[in-house]
Amino acid sequence: MAANTTTKFFALSQSFSVSDIIVIGAYFLLNVAVGIWSSCRVSRNTLNGYFLAGRDMAWWPIGASMFASSEGSGLFIGLAGTGAAGGIAVAGFEWNVSFLSPLSSPPFCDSPIVTMPEYLGRRFGGERIRMYLSALSLMLSVFTKISTDLYSGAFFVQICLGWNLYVSTVLMLVVTALYTIAGGLAAVIYTDTLQTSIMIIGAVILTITGQSIGGYNELERMYLQAVPSKIIPNTTCHLPRPDAMHLFRDPVDGDLPWPGMTLGLTIIATWYWCTDQVIVQRSLSAKNLSHAKGASIFASYLKMLPMIFIVLPGMISKALYPDSVGCVDPEECMKVCGAEVGCSNIAFPKLVIELMPSGLRGLMIAVMMAALMSSLTSIFNSSSTLFTMDIWKKYRRGASEKELLLVGRIVTVILVVISVVWIPILQSANSGQLYVYIQSVTSYLAPPVTAIFVMAVFWKRTNEAGAFWGLMVGLAVGVTRMVLEFAFPPPRCGVFDPAPSVLRSVHYLHFAIILCLLTIIVVVVVSLLTPPPTEEQTCNLTWWTLKNNFPLSPSFPPIKATLGSGSLLSQGTQAFSLSLYLFLFTGCESVRRGKCVRAPGFCSPRPSRSSPGTPPAVIHSIREDPFWSRFCCVNAIILMCVNIFLYAYYA
């Protein structure tokens, strides 16, 4: 069996021409050139330069990097595979972000914060919450990001070139790990911009080539008739879903039920786009507030594209090749892709191999490598930042900058090794749908973090004990569900499912809602039964204490002067962003001439540690140009309107 598969892969690899090799070689040379150029722009030998790119990045490379980081090879393979298996509903995962763009941009630029756990450490005091969130973020990076991207990238190379899966994985690792360790965040962001361009160009070409079957209506007809020739009698798993072309599906029996796609998905997206280190670190690198918000909006525009360039090609692949992409018979699936649970993950590479001509086939290999490298470099850099700044620095308070940089690079290597060990589990997870695996694991671990972050910002009474026990209860319940999911994986077609009924009756998106609500209840109960937080833990660190603790001196300019004139909506939106920035990350004592002056003690009643005569820290770039503030506001509104239209049209 393995020999036949190897022979088939070898035959496919022989179809690659000299022009394909030239295109792939040119891509790597261009990528190295951009990496070297960007690395020279910012010092890599300082923490600010290595982890935050000198905090001097413009909106367009940051936005492109956000998009490229979220659209790794795992999403190329996973989105197309889930689209092939179930239709267009999975596009909702991508569109959801535009509702969060006005909030995800914000207000991290030029702040003293380097990681999100650092904010919660200041908000609640103590170290255990900050340490837990850092460890959880690292765990999620391994389970849902690094390992899935490595597996999918190596899987694509295996199918196209016939290489062994682990040989392909090691090759990907050597390139990306060295690249990240050497370059820092600046190299990651600028090369991500290159990767974004390559991904979009390649995906457009593939979509146009695939549309040779006809238009959207013809795709719908062919997809609904895509039944494999070899089926399992007395089952329906071979039949395409009748609601494949609809975004909202049955709230009970749907594969992606609409309550979960609206509420549950928003909880997960809030965690990723507003608190996850990969995205936050890019906002932190912006040169000012306008660039941070513009980057988030630009990334949201780009997130509209995967429906056309990834999901629809996956559906086209199943419509054209139902016997391989849509196989349900375990023996047949083993012949096709080496997995009994299904072969929907081969939808994207299958389309590339069968439809793309010479030269363009090499371009698509470059596209997948671009997706892999962009996501892995981003995750490696962000994960090493978390460990270095939140864990290592705690136990080595006197560590030099040189030591911290070395630790950050070593952590990258360790994460790579752990991720490779996890890869075999992915091969049999979630009916062969990689994207379902990614989102389900996130649903079990991320909702408590979203709940704690929202409660910390919007409920002053939330204290450290409530937040900690809310996180612990949420972790226990989430891990229990995740263990059950791996203990009882979805059975292949026609096999009895021994899993407990509660496991199959509660969808993972519904579980995210339940887990978030459970965490909030625990936080409220424990917080009310324990002493309230101190003034130091709430001063300018919650939404409701900002105005109470923000002194309006005669030198404080009115909102219109600070934020720029415009409509009431524009002023309100910009005021929200400015306020969120102030209370989350600066602890401003006053604002003078467009600059935020932070009190030496950060609103602390304790004496300042600053030496006498030391001027207070000044945070620049709070003031926005009136034109660009209105421009960002208008684009955020346009984004939400387009999103509402798409949801309504495909609902």
pLDDT computed for residue 47 by the predictor: 57
pLDDT computed for residue 393 by the predictor: 81
pLDDT computed for residue 5 by the predictor: 42
Structure tokens that stand for 98 in this block: 């535009």
Confidence band (pLDDT; 50, 70, 90) for 587? very low
Average pLDDT over residues 14-20: 68
pLDDT computed for residue 425 by the predictor: 63
pLDDT computed for residue 88 by the predictor: 94
Among 439, 574, 558, smallest CA distance to 105 is for 574
**Distance between CA atoms of residues 406 and 393, nearest Å:** 12
- Highest mean pLDDT: which range of 165-179, 230-244, 353-367, 401-415: 230-244
Q: Which residue has the tokens 């040379």?
A: 29
* Inter-residue contact 107 to 577 (CB < 8 Å): yes
Instruction: Kindly report which listed range (285-299, 394-408, 512-526, 547-561) carries the lowest average pLDDT score.
Output: 547-561
Q: Which residue has the tokens 């914000």?
A: 106
The helix (run of H) or strand (run of E) holding residue 5 is helix 2-14
Contacts 24+ apart (CB under 8 A), 503-507: 507/257, 507/260
**Distance between CA atoms of residues 242 and 333, nearest Å:** 23
Position with higher pLDDT, 207 vs 55 = 207
Between helices 347-355 and 312-320, what is the axis angle to 10°?
70
* Inter-residue contact 582 to 597 (CB < 8 Å): no
CA dist 466 → 33, 363, 469, 478 (Å): 50, 52, 5, 18
Question: Per-residue pLDDT for 15 more than 60?
Answer: no
Question: Per-residue pLDDT for 225 more than 80?
Answer: yes
Kindly tell me the sign of the dihedral angle through the C-alpha atoms of 331, 333, 336, 338.
negative
Position with higher pLDDT, 35 vs 491 = 491
pLDDT computed for residue 605 by the predictor: 41
3-class DSSP assignment, residue 342: coil
pLDDT computed for residue 463 by the predictor: 92
3-class DSSP assignment, residue 71: coil
Instruction: Kindly report which listed range (74-83, 167-176, 433-442) carries the lowest average pLDDT score.
Output: 167-176
Position with higher pLDDT, 585 vs 229 = 229
Strand duo 595-598 + 617-619: pairing = antiparallel
Q: Which residue has the tokens 């470099």?
A: 377
* Inter-residue contact 297 to 632 (CB < 8 Å): yes
Question: Per-residue pLDDT for 366 more than 70?
Answer: yes
Number of other CB atoms surrounding residue 217 within 10 Å: 9
3-class DSSP assignment, residue 326: coil
Instruction: Kindly report which listed range (69-83, 589-603, 612-626) carries the lowest average pLDDT score.
Output: 589-603
Structure tokens that stand for 477 in this block: 């319940």
The helix (run of H) or strand (run of E) holding residue 178 is helix 165-210
pLDDT computed for residue 591 by the predictor: 40
Position with higher pLDDT, 92 vs 570 = 92
- For the residues of 409-429, what is the DSSP string, one character each? HHHHHHHHHHHHHHHHHHTTS
Average pLDDT over residues 542-566: 44
DSSP state of 506: S
Confidence band (pLDDT; 50, 70, 90) for 184? low
Question: Per-residue pLDDT for 26 more than 50?
Answer: yes
| Cβ burial, residue 463 (10 Å; 0-12/13-18/19+) | buried
Question: Per-residue pLDDT for 506 more than 60?
Answer: yes
Structure tokens that stand for 92 in this block: 């909702």
pLDDT in tens, 49-64: 555 656 677 888 888 8
SS3 readout for 444-474:
HHCHHHHHHHHHHHHCCCCCHHHHHHHHHHH
Domains, the chain, in order of start with CATH, read: 2-492+500-533 (1.20.1730.10), 537-630 (no CATH)
Percent of the chain with pLDDT over 70: 71
pLDDT computed for residue 550 by the predictor: 40
Kindly tell me the sign of the dihedral angle through the C-alpha atoms of 204, 206, 207, 209.
positive
- Residue 274 makes CB contacts below 8 A (sequence gap 6+) with 100, 103, 104, 280, 453
Question: Per-residue pLDDT for 568 more than 50?
Answer: no
- Highest mean pLDDT: which range of 31-35, 84-88, 197-201: 84-88
pLDDT computed for residue 528 by the predictor: 96
Question: Per-residue pLDDT for 133 more than 80?
Answer: yes
Structure tokens that stand for 151 in this block: 């597996």
**Distance between CA atoms of residues 463 and 286, nearest Å:** 31
- Residue 71 makes CB contacts below 8 A (sequence gap 6+) with 199, 306, 310, 371, 374, 375
CA dist 171 → 149, 163, 166, 219, 414 (Å): 13, 10, 9, 37, 16
Average pLDDT over residues 478-489: 89
Percent of the chain with pLDDT over 90: 16
Question: Per-residue pLDDT for 616 more than 50?
Answer: no
* Inter-residue contact 75 to 428 (CB < 8 Å): no
Confidence band (pLDDT; 50, 70, 90) for 16? low
pLDDT computed for residue 546 by the predictor: 58
Confidence band (pLDDT; 50, 70, 90) for 593? very low
Confidence band (pLDDT; 50, 70, 90) for 439? confident
SS3 readout for 191-238:
HHHHHHHHHHHHHHHHHHHHHHHCCHHHHHHHHHCCCCCCCCCCCCCC
- Residue 331 makes CB contacts below 8 A (sequence gap 6+) with none
**In Å, how far from its chain's centre is CA 600?**
35
- How many residues make up the chain in this entry? 651
Q: Which residue has the tokens 């700044």?
A: 389
**Distance between CA atoms of residues 569 and 552, nearest Å:** 23
Instruction: Kindly report which listed range (172-186, 302-316, 545-559) carries the lowest average pLDDT score.
Output: 545-559
Confidence band (pLDDT; 50, 70, 90) for 601? very low
pLDDT computed for residue 183 by the predictor: 54
User: What value does the mean pLDDT of the chain take?
Assistant: 74
Confidence band (pLDDT; 50, 70, 90) for 379? confident
- Highest mean pLDDT: which range of 311-325, 328-342, 517-531: 517-531
pLDDT computed for residue 45 by the predictor: 56
**Distance between CA atoms of residues 32 and 537, nearest Å:** 46
Question: Per-residue pLDDT for 208 more than 70?
Answer: yes
Average pLDDT over residues 611-618: 38
Instruction: Kindly report which listed range (11-15, 226-230, 448-452) carries the lowest average pLDDT score.
Output: 11-15
